[in-house]
Chain A
Amino acid sequence: MLILDNIPALLVAIPLLASAVVSLIPSARIAWGIAFVTTLICLYMAFELVGIISSTQALSYAFGGWEPPWGIVFVLDSANVYLVLLVAFVSVIATLYAYTMLAREIAVEDLPKAYAVWLLAIASLFGLAMTGDAFNLFVFLEISALSSITLIALGAGQDRRALLAAYNYLIIGAIGATFYVIGVGYLYAATGSLNLIDITDRLNELGTNQAAITGLAFMLAGIMVKAGVFPVHIWLPAAYSYAPSAVSSLLAAVATKVAIYYFARLLFGIFIDITQLVDFFLLYILMPVSVLAIFYGTIAAIYQSDFKRLFALSSIAQIGYITFAFSLNSHSGILAGFIHIINHALIKGALFMAVGIFALGIGSRATMSSMQGVGRQMPITFAGFVLAGLALIGVPLTAGFISKLYLFKAIFETGNGFYVALIALSSVLSVLYLWKIFEVMWLKEPVQPQKIDKEPASAYLPVWLMVTVIMTFGVYSGDVISSGIGAANALIGAR
């Protein structure tokens, strides 16, 4: 069938086209309607893809009939198909959430254009997740960066600092992209190819090659910026805290995750021949950096009083857990990392959404002082928020627990008690900031009888949809675990 055969291309093409259409529409409602339907179609196609991959294992889609290694190719296997599904799912929920939230945070006349950029960002995320071409990835990286920056800057209506945050992201993101493209250049010089699979084959023939190694180093550095890996995460906290809530929840949930996936693919899937160097990088660079990220993010979050910034800092720590799992350089490690990519995307998305609703309710930023007793005044959102918070700590029966279970399994398999101690300590520390929030929002009396807007059902419904999935994955983890196993098998082979 024509449509089924072309799903990989359509996943990018449909939101791209819809984006162009939406930008011409004057009505915010219709614009939203088109955006929402588009994301639903993408979700349907993502499910189709999962079905295809579970029967055929891998799929390579060559654009315009130009066979690889000459043409651009989208590659789907069990490492990225669930990521595509994740992006599609989160886009649906975030778009649903945007209906109420974006309209209240930015000017009405800007809304259709905002949805156009929104769809552009989603299209680029699909592209990033699927492309098998190093240079094509750079193109999507740029689309993603520019659309994200625009969306972040839209927060200026609420808080002018959004402009500075967007500008910072622009500069730092551009530096990252430059690093990446320089790396691609080196690699092209060494191998004469841009197709990632082809590059792997040619590198195997070439043996150790200085230019290729340099290229890899540059590419990894560039991707780390985009993924928000410590210490090149500096654009992230401000960007997530000043963007409109809908944008924060979309970006925090999936934007960094797609970059992390590609980071893992580069590390484990492409550079098989220079294993020693990758091993060195994992053990002596990525692991210490991840541990620093975990402790920096967690401790900074404990002392942070602005909620959105607090959760952005917590994201730094959580990304640290994912890269830490990768740095263990084992099947279980990659498995744990991929499970946490999915779970953390859902959890952080839900948390950012809930914080947005709180902030809207009191009409100012959500901070430790402005949020006193708000949990009691907005109980439905708060209940969802608490469940997502429990999942973030890794409480049993939530999705976060499954992440923790597999992360510890991977660590125990290394037999290193020091790692166990570090990760256990950090998980205790993460309880502190969530307890602080709970104490402020639930145990303290509201400051004064302030007027609180009622929580809009259209805003808390998406939160609860996310929370439902989080709780479901906590008690029914089979599919998430097998997706992680699939990813690990695809990247470093079945063990």
Chain B
Amino acid sequence: MSDLQLLLAISLVMPLLSALAVLVFSNQKNIRDICGPVGGLIAFTSAIFIASAIMDGKTVSITLWQIAPGIDLSFAVTPLGALFGLVASGLWILASIYTVGYMRGAKEKNQTRFAFYYAVAIHAAMAISYSGNLMMLFIFYEVLTFSTYPLVAHSQTKEARNAGRLYMGILVATSLLLFLPAIFWVWTVSGTLEFTKGGILPADFPPFLVSVMLAMFAFGIGKAALMPIHRWLPAAMVAPTPVSALLHAVAVVKAGVFSVLTITVYIFGIDFLNTTGSAVWLAWLAAFTILASSIIAITKDDLKARLAYSTISQLSYIVLGAALATAAATEGAALHIVMHATAKITLFFCAGAIYVNAHIKKISELDGLGPKLPLIFIAFFLASLSIIGIPPMGGSWSKFLLMAGSVDAGMPLMLAVLAISSLLNVYYLLEPCARAFFKPAIKEVHVENHILTIIPPVVTAMISLFLFFTIDWVRPLTTLMVMP
């Protein structure tokens, strides 16, 4: 086993070890709660080494064995996977620190069970990023669904259970009804499921069937929250905020769009999609989702619900990039995974921090809160700018590339869609900050200061800012992804 394989194994196993450690130390709260950050740190370090090896043009893979002809149990890092692995493990460090502050501050029950499934979910996300083929990706996609169910239904109230049922129902049903049959289909026509640059479908595969297959993937991967398969995401917001932050802004939903992007790049091949024009319909559907969910977001007064609809909208940016299937657009989509993840996790961290420290959930009650929680609202503001796509925030790069990609793809109307979406973002994301800083307080609010809930959003907001200047650190990965 080479050093790189060892690193790959470490980054995959570390979250699982951390989950086991959580169970072992369930009675010593402080040791238990350090397991997550330590595991995250080790996994993230390995992920950095793996990513830099990939940038140097090396390949990293582990093949365990073959379960059926053309279907291996194997991990192989693609440039896109290396990027997603960085995002998932890096943000896990901060999220697990934040979790401690939040769960203790909100005095949630069953913290051990929560920490356990949290780590298992991250394991699934890491395994998804480093999957070598579609089968592995599917297996861990399902592991992710099942491991997040106890987190969504965590409070065990009737509302939480019903939300959990809807969550599982939609995600499992779509994956079994469409995703898995689509995988079988690919296997039947190609005899393999390996992620390969340029795709694996036979060149004479009819364009109409390509569209059908793409639809099976796009709707079968419910985690990408493409309309009309998006209802589970707002429902999942009953979960404690750390779940919404890491899982429903980063790991789970990004696993969804990551899968869509991986499939368009490594199963269909972007040139193949581009020449057959089979993905044009998907671009329009993504555009519709972007605008429709932004409009719904405006109507939501509950902060987490608004952020949830904003997430649905932003996820479709990535689906749009995949569907446009040009080099610039897919690069933009891949970078948007990073940019949106850092910005959206900040927003959720802030929402949770506002709840824990001031016990407020509604936007209309935020008036005058700014001066009392200044760091949180500044972080919120910066992250909002990143999502809107204003320099000097990281989000401006991905939006720029997506716009360039729409022109390349000969769909300049998408420019208008992206521009309108930015305007809507301005409207619904800046409102909370505007209220907090410029409106007088209506009532006296008692504010606590749980430091562990305040530091993580500030750090992630700084990362968002930082990514604008250090885009060249991650860009090589996306360039490698689209290189012929």
Q: Which of B67, B180, B185 meets A474, CB within 8 Å?
A: B67
Q: B452 contacts the other chain (Cβ, under 8 Å)?
A: no
Which residues of the partner chain B approach A474 to less than 8 Å between Cβ atoms?
Answer: 67
Which residues of the partner chain A approach B138 to less than 8 Å between Cβ atoms?
Answer: 396
Interchain CA distance A288-B149 in the complex, whole Å: 37
Q: Contact flags (1/0) for B157-181 with A, using CB distance below 8 Å?
A: 0000000000000001100111011
Q: A52 contacts the other chain (Cβ, under 8 Å)?
A: no
In the complex, residue of chain A having the shortest beta-carbon distance to the beta carbon of B188: A412
- Which of A18-26, A98-106, A401-409, A457-465 has 4 or more CB atoms under 8 Å from chain B? A401-409
Q: B355 contacts the other chain (Cβ, under 8 Å)?
A: no
Which residues of the partner chain A approach B65 to less than 8 Å between Cβ atoms?
Answer: 475-476
- Which of A353-361, A369-377, A425-433 has 4 or more CB atoms under 8 Å from chain B? A425-433
In the complex, residue of chain B having the shortest beta-carbon distance to the beta carbon of A477: B68
Q: Are B184 and A476 within 8 A (Cβ)?
A: no
Q: Which of B142, B178, B188 meets A408, CB within 8 Å?
A: B188
Q: B139 contacts the other chain (Cβ, under 8 Å)?
A: yes
CB distance from B225 to the nearest CB of A (A): 20
Interchain CA distance A402-B71 in the complex, whole Å: 11
Given contacts A396-B139, A413-B188, A420-B181, contact A405 B68 (CB under 8 A): yes
In the complex, residue of chain B having the shortest beta-carbon distance to the beta carbon of A480: B68
In the complex, residue of chain A having the shortest beta-carbon distance to the beta carbon of B185: A412
CB distance from B189 to the nearest CB of A (A): 7
Q: A481 contacts the other chain (Cβ, under 8 Å)?
A: yes
Q: Are B187 and A409 within 8 A (Cβ)?
A: yes
Q: Are A431 and B176 within 8 A (Cβ)?
A: yes
Q: B296 contacts the other chain (Cβ, under 8 Å)?
A: no
Interchain CA distance A478-B66 in the complex, whole Å: 9
Q: Are B189 and A412 within 8 A (Cβ)?
A: yes
Q: B212 contacts the other chain (Cβ, under 8 Å)?
A: yes
Q: A397 contacts the other chain (Cβ, under 8 Å)?
A: yes
Number of A-B contacts defined by CB within 8 Å: 56
Q: Are A475 and B185 within 8 A (Cβ)?
A: no
Q: Contact flags (1/0) for A249-275 with B, using CB distance below 8 Å?
A: 000000000000000000000000000
Interchain CA distance A408-B181 in the complex, whole Å: 7
In the complex, residue of chain B having the shortest beta-carbon distance to the beta carbon of A408: B184
Q: A417 contacts the other chain (Cβ, under 8 Å)?
A: yes
Q: Contact flags (1/0) for B70-96 with A, using CB distance below 8 Å?
A: 010100000000000000000000000
Main SS at interface, chain A = helix
Q: A424 contacts the other chain (Cβ, under 8 Å)?
A: yes
Interchain CA distance A438-B131 in the complex, whole Å: 29
Q: B228 contacts the other chain (Cβ, under 8 Å)?
A: no
Most buried by B among A405, A417, A477: A405
Q: Are A481 and B188 within 8 A (Cβ)?
A: no
Which residues of the partner chain B approach A423 to less than 8 Å between Cβ atoms?
Answer: 181
CB distance from A124 to the nearest CB of B (A): 34
CB distance from B150 to the nearest CB of A (A): 10
Given contacts A396-B139, A431-B176, contact A402 B184 (CB under 8 A): no
Q: Contact flags (1/0) for A470-486 with B, using CB distance below 8 Å?
A: 00001111100100000
Q: Contact flags (1/0) for B427-471 with A, using CB distance below 8 Å?
A: 000000000000000000000000000000000000000000000
Q: Are B188 and A402 within 8 A (Cβ)?
A: no
In the complex, residue of chain B having the shortest beta-carbon distance to the beta carbon of A481: B68
In the complex, residue of chain A having the shortest beta-carbon distance to the beta carbon of B67: A475
Interchain CA distance A420-B182 in the complex, whole Å: 10
Q: Which of B139, B180, B185 meets A397, CB within 8 Å?
A: B139
Q: B135 contacts the other chain (Cβ, under 8 Å)?
A: yes
Q: Are A397 and B67 within 8 A (Cβ)?
A: yes
Q: Are A428 and B68 within 8 A (Cβ)?
A: no
Interchain CA distance A408-B189 in the complex, whole Å: 12
Enumerate B113-153 residues with CB–CB distance to A below 8 Å.
Answer: 135, 138-139, 142
Q: Which of B71, B142, B212 meets A417, CB within 8 Å?
A: B212
Interchain CA distance A478-B142 in the complex, whole Å: 25
Q: B484 contacts the other chain (Cβ, under 8 Å)?
A: no
Interchain CA distance A423-B180 in the complex, whole Å: 12
Enumerate A388-416 residues with CB–CB distance to B below 8 Å.
Answer: 395-397, 401-402, 404-405, 408-409, 412-413
Interchain CA distance A163-B99 in the complex, whole Å: 60
Q: Which of A395, A412, A424, A478 meets B178, CB within 8 Å?
A: A424
In the complex, residue of chain B having the shortest beta-carbon distance to the beta carbon of A439: B165
Q: B202 contacts the other chain (Cβ, under 8 Å)?
A: no
Q: B69 contacts the other chain (Cβ, under 8 Å)?
A: yes
CB distance from B141 to the nearest CB of A (A): 10
Q: Are A431 and B172 within 8 A (Cβ)?
A: yes
Given contacts A412-B184, A431-B172, A475-B73, contact A402 B68 (CB under 8 A): yes
Interchain CA distance A423-B185 in the complex, whole Å: 13
Interchain CA distance A452-B406 in the complex, whole Å: 66
In the complex, residue of chain B having the shortest beta-carbon distance to the beta carbon of A412: B188
Enumerate A214-271 residues with CB–CB distance to B below 8 Å.
Answer: none
Q: Are B67 and A476 within 8 A (Cβ)?
A: yes
Q: Are A481 and B176 within 8 A (Cβ)?
A: no
CB distance from B152 to the nearest CB of A (A): 14
Enumerate A420-460 residues with CB–CB distance to B below 8 Å.
Answer: 420, 423-425, 427-428, 431
Enumerate B200-251 residues with CB–CB distance to A below 8 Å.
Answer: 212
CB distance from A472 to the nearest CB of B (A): 11
Q: Which of A395, A409, A425, A478 meets B184, CB within 8 Å?
A: A409
Which residues of the partner chain A approach B177 to less than 8 Å between Cβ atoms?
Answer: 424-425, 428
CB distance from A394 to the nearest CB of B (A): 8
Interchain CA distance A264-B69 in the complex, whole Å: 25
In the complex, residue of chain A having the shortest beta-carbon distance to the beta carbon of B176: A428
CB distance from B437 to the nearest CB of A (A): 46
Given contacts A409-B188, A431-B172, A474-B67, contact A424 B181 (CB under 8 A): yes
Interchain residue pairs A-B with the least CB separation, the first 6: A408-B184, A412-B188, A409-B188, A424-B181, A428-B176, A396-B139
Enumerate 20 A-B pairs (CB-CB under 8 Å) in ascending A order. Answer: A396-B67, A396-B139, A396-B142, A397-B139, A401-B67, A402-B67, A408-B181, A408-B184, A409-B184, A409-B188, A412-B185, A412-B188, A413-B188, A420-B181, A425-B177, A428-B173, A431-B172, A431-B176, A475-B65, A481-B69
Known: A431-B176, A478-B66. 10 other contacts (CB 8 A): A396-B138, A396-B139, A402-B68, A413-B188, A420-B181, A420-B185, A428-B172, A428-B176, A475-B67, A477-B67
Partner-B contacts on A (CB < 8 A): 395-397, 401-402, 404-405, 408-409, 412-413, 417, 420, 423-425, 427-428, 431, 474-478, 481
